[in-house]
Amino acid sequence: MQIPLKILKHGEGLSYPFYATAQSAGMDVFAAVEAPQTLDPGTRAAIPLGFALALPHSFEAQIRSRSGLAAKYGVCVLNAPGTIDPDYRGEVGALMINLGQEPFVVERGLRIAQMVFAPFCCIEWMPTDDLEETARSMGGFGSTGTK
């Protein structure tokens, strides 16, 4: 699948999003900050990625945490996954949070997150007074046990 990608002025010189390995599900994306930006513990910031795209109808792009940043520094995508809708044409960004104990510096070109593409369907509601019974029925949180 080919997706139009527009590099914005402040994204020039950065690598295009890319798959780090042949079987990576997500493409690494890069911080397009003009100057280093410090995320103190417990703080969050929208980090620009320096590009816009045009997704086909019924596809979304999901912005997700990179496991290495999360494990080593506690830096994650806050609204994981962040959804880029197919009708959005603005700059793609990553809403990052530092859940770690130390300040984390976001520098230009840092692989800050990953982007995964996924199809979705749109539904129409079918109002009803009765829902099909299942073995679980109305069992909620914890109802299926922990073992």
What does the domain layout of the chain look like in residue ranges? Answer: 5-119
Instruction: Please write the tens of the pLDDT for every residue from 83-134.
Output: 999 999 999 999 999 999 999 999 999 999 999 999 999 999 999 999 999 8
pTM score of the predicted model:
0.88
Cα separation, 47 vs 80, in Å, equals: 14
Q: Does domain 5-119 have CATH number 2.30.42.10?
A: no
**Side-chain half-sphere CA neighbours of 101 within 13 A:** 2
Q: What is the pLDDT of residue 135?
A: 83
Cα separation, 74 vs 76, in Å, equals: 6
